[in-house]
Amino acid sequence: MVSFRKPLIAGIAASGLILAGCASDGDNGNGAVDNPAAQEGQDSRGPITFAMGKNDIEKVVAIADRWNEENPDEEVTIHELAGEADAQRETLVQSLEASSDEFDVMALDVTWTAEFAANGYLVPLTGQMEIDTSALLEPAVESATYNGTLYALPQNTNGQLLYRNTEMIPDAPADWDALRESCEGMEGDADCLTLQLSQYEGLSVNTLDFIHAWGGEIADDEGNITVNSDEARAGLQAMVDAYEDGTISEASTGATEEETMQAFTNEESAYAVNWPYMFDAAEDTPVAGNFEVTPLVGPDGVGVSTLGGYNNGINANSENKATARDFIEYIISEESQMSFAEQSFPPVLASIYDDEELVEQFPYLPALKESLENAQPRTVSPYYAAMSKAIQDNAYAAINGDKDVDQAINDMEAALGQAGR
């Protein structure tokens, strides 16, 4: 049986983005701090500790139990971090800044991977630490890659889905215009579409969905800010127009994922954009049996979801890096990934989405696979938190009419440029 450690309370707030580097002032040539500890002990084996937030950690327990039965001399201990993402990150950063080997493997939100890599916290998965990722979903691998080097291994992923009440809207829309038109003849008081436009990470995600679907981007592969483009402007304009004409519900500016789910499952909204977890949750609500899911829609067909999920990184100070490497590879095995799928935890192994028995049990899988194949990771940057705030602040101002779209894009560009300074 896997053993647990409960979370420590972080006494020091790891506020902002720490880029001092805990081990060396050098640069390894790809923008990350050169931490000599990352190259030490790559042949060493023994017990390790795996740290993950408490909301999802149960998904890994059975995998760790199976590993421990097969590898009694290299036992994995589960360390339960806080449920809230910021608190998880604070605990990890505090430990890593102290060059601690407390956590050998860490489940990192996809938005943290670049930051942790840039600081020299992680072991690059190169040389004898290399792991084959060819069978994994490519967008998930991209989220774990910083400046061309893989620094973590995707564990699970997530993509948004378009939920549709089939009694209100019988046919799935082919594109964004079709979605808007489908609501014009709708009877009753229900809203057309609810999504997350409250001022938090959900607003960044949905803004990125529109910008990416219309062909724009926030930054290029070299990290240059490229949001001031006709395509990005058109994406933000589409979102603002939809809010102004009522396609996107007024309630969306106060909605997180939970409020979105409530609106849809209580039949107060014909459409909703949300993550796959809502599929199972909706089965015990008034909308049960009367909804379908498809990928998001954009101007020319399938839209672009923003990628979620966890990447497993190995602590540069781990004493048993060989065991840590093998354990994160074990998590992407077919058996482990199938167990994720059976718990509605979207796997990164592409072949799982084609399993006929699993699709019968979880009908949303084909739509989710298509969503993930068209997904884009959030901007891979060690400054992502500041970049997200720049997106939120200016998108929210545009939605609420405090800025026109041109000004919002100009101000977003300026704020994004300052995010890494």
8 Å CB contact between 295 and 374: yes
Q: Does the pLDDT at position 15 exceed 50?
A: no
Tokens representing residue 293 in the block: 């899911």
Q: With the C-alpha atoms ordered 201, 210, 254, 271, is the resulting torsion angle positive or negative?
A: negative
8 Å CB contact between 41 and 114: no
Q: How confident is the model at residue 417 (pLDDT cuts 50, 70, 90)?
A: very high
Q: Are strands 308-314 and 105-109 parallel, antiparallel or unpaired?
A: antiparallel
Give the separation between CA 174 and CA 191, rounded to whole angstroms: 20
pLDDT score, position 201: 92
Q: Does the pLDDT at position 115 exceed 90?
A: yes
pLDDT score, position 25: 45
pLDDT score, position 5: 56
Nearest CA to 252 out of 184, 181, 190, 203 is that of 203
Q: Concatenated DSSP letters for 154-167?
A: EEEEE--EEEEETT
**What is the per-residue pLDDT across 45-72, written as a single tens digit (0 to 9) for each?**
999 999 999 989 999 999 999 999 999 9
Q: How confident is the model at residue 10 (pLDDT cuts 50, 70, 90)?
A: very low
Residue that wins the pLDDT comparison between 5 and 157: 157
pLDDT score, position 362: 92
Q: Does the pLDDT at position 22 exceed 90?
A: no
pLDDT score, position 134: 98
8 Å CB contact between 154 and 143: yes
Q: How confident is the model at residue 13 (pLDDT cuts 50, 70, 90)?
A: very low
pLDDT score, position 7: 42
pLDDT (average), residues 401-406 = 98
Amino acid letter, 246: G
**What is the per-residue pLDDT across 104-113, written as a single tens digit (0 to 9) for each?**
999 999 999 9
pLDDT score, position 295: 98
Q: How confident is the model at residue 24 (pLDDT cuts 50, 70, 90)?
A: very low
Q: Is 63 left (phi over 0), alpha (psi -120 to 50) or beta?
A: alpha
pLDDT score, position 62: 95
Considering all CA atoms of the chain, what is the largest pairwise distance in Å, rounded to the nearest integer?
A: 66
Give the separation between CA 50 and CA 67, rounded to whole angstroms: 12
pLDDT score, position 421: 64
Whole-number average pLDDT of the chain: 91
Q: Does the pLDDT at position 26 exceed 70?
A: no
pLDDT score, position 190: 97
Q: Does the pLDDT at position 23 exceed 50?
A: no
DSSP state of 307: P
Tokens representing residue 180 in the block: 């808007």
8 Å CB contact between 247 and 179: yes
Q: Does the pLDDT at position 258 exceed 80?
A: yes
Among 66-70, 125-129, 261-265, 371-375, name the one with the lowest average pLDDT. Answer: 371-375
Beta strands in 6-152 (DSSP E): 48-53, 76-81, 105-109, 145-146, 149-150
Residue that wins the pLDDT comparison between 41 and 12: 41
Domains recognised in the chain with CATH numbers: 3-158+308-368 (3.40.190.10), 161-306+383-419 (3.40.190.10)
Nearest CA to 328 out of 314, 345, 317 is that of 314
pLDDT (average), residues 330-359 = 95
| Global confidence as pTM | 0.85
**What is the per-residue pLDDT across 75-101, written as a single tens digit (0 to 9) for each?**
999 999 998 888 999 999 999 999 999
Q: With the C-alpha atoms ordered 133, 135, 136, 139, is the resulting torsion angle positive or negative?
A: positive
pLDDT (average), residues 378-386 = 88
Tokens representing residue 222 in the block: 């070299």
